[in-house]
Amino acid sequence: MGSTIGTDIATSLGDEAEYLLDYRCEGIPGDTLHLPGPDIIERVVSHKHRNPSVLRSLGSMLNTGRLGGSGYLSILPVDQGIEHTAGASFAPNPRYFDPANIVELAIEGGCNAVASTVGVLSSVSRQYAHRIPFIVKLNHNELLTYPTMYDQTLFASVKQSFDLGAVAVGATIYYGSPESRRQITEIAEAFEYAHELGMVTVLWAYLRNSDFKKDGVDYHTAADTTGQANHLAATIEADIVKQKQAEGNGGFPAIGFGKSHPAMYDSLTSDHPIDLVRWQVANCYMGRAGLINSGGPSGEDDMHQAIRTAVINKRAGGMGLISGRKAFQKPTAEGVALLNAIQDVYLDESITIA
């Protein structure tokens, strides 16, 4: 369990330290994956059909912040002003109504990039676009429509994002929803144009369908269903896939749709969280598209949960974490400390691939 960079990771994991730090995956071995590392662009990304400017843009992300040069990513996402309403998102710390403070948190927190809305990033682009890579989120589900509906609507164009100095664009597809086929077409076309302009593409590959909850179990985060969402994300050439960390498995057979194979639930995976996320990585073309897991909502146990999520992601073969509410819904010093603790997991060479 070795030394750490600045965070006592084993102590933070508590009773789960040995369970998470010493586990070895047997279903899908780590040596079959395309793993993050200092040479990931030359070893993996350069083999893709990508404009050389995309490699430059990805390089700017991978060489920024505390994780610069490691091949891993720590991203601050703040699009919750639309997705969860500005009041609900920023009331815990009103200074983040000001876009400049969002970007300053990403910089002070040692992040590789900041992801936000076109409005947030364009309002401070001339001040910050040269200091930290921007990721513009193209579409959103806004909550002012009544009755509440769940659909991703385009708020920005790829050209707008390029012109304000962003190196990447992000988008969400609600796989499993009635609107998903339209979203797939919209975002596939947007990603194609982004690559033409030399931009990196990031997909929030989320599931949304009320029928994905069955007999009291929520399969929106099951390994098999989220794994397929990741595979679809890689299919439309997402360079990076953002996914909720897998919890449980067996969504396809429980819900009674799609197709599956017994090996998905016995020989290739187990109920261990690292195995479940390893299945998510495998569906990202065995790591050719980087998997970043989301940090989830803010709560009373944020530091422990953030470190735990990072350890599982790294040991499974993931590329990093994208954590927003846990960082910006608290005093700045605490937010910076949380981001740094996440980064410490990826900097700690004793935390190896399972």
51: Cβ–Cβ under 8 A, 6 or more apart, which residues?
195, 196, 197, 198
> How is residue 244 annotated by DSSP?
P
186: Cβ–Cβ under 8 A, 6 or more apart, which residues?
139, 154
Tell me the two tokens of residue 311: 């350890």
Return the half-sphere exposure (C-beta side, CA atoms, 13 A cut-off) of residue 156.
Answer: 29
Strands 139-140 and 134-137: unpaired
Tell me the two tokens of residue 203: 């997909």
Cα–Cα distance for residue pair 105/119, rounded to 1 Å = 17
Residue-by-residue DSSP string for 104-139? HHHHHTT-SEEEE-HHHHHTTHHHHTTTS-EEEE-E
- Smallest CA-to-CA distance from 128 within 193, 136, 341 is with 136
Cα–Cα distance for residue pair 38/55, rounded to 1 Å = 14
**Is 242 one of the annotated active-site residues of the chain?**
yes
Amino acid sitting at position 124: V
CB atoms under 10 Å from CB of 330, counted, come to 17
Cα–Cα distance for residue pair 221/244, rounded to 1 Å = 6
The one catalytic residue in 137, 242, 314, 326 is 242
Assess contact for 113 and 106: CB atoms under 8 A.
Answer: yes
Assess contact for 132 and 107: CB atoms under 8 A.
Answer: yes
- Return the axis-axis angle of helices 99-108 and 332-347, rounded to nearest 10°: 40
- Smallest CA-to-CA distance from 209 within 200, 220, 198, 201 is with 220
Active-site residue list: 242
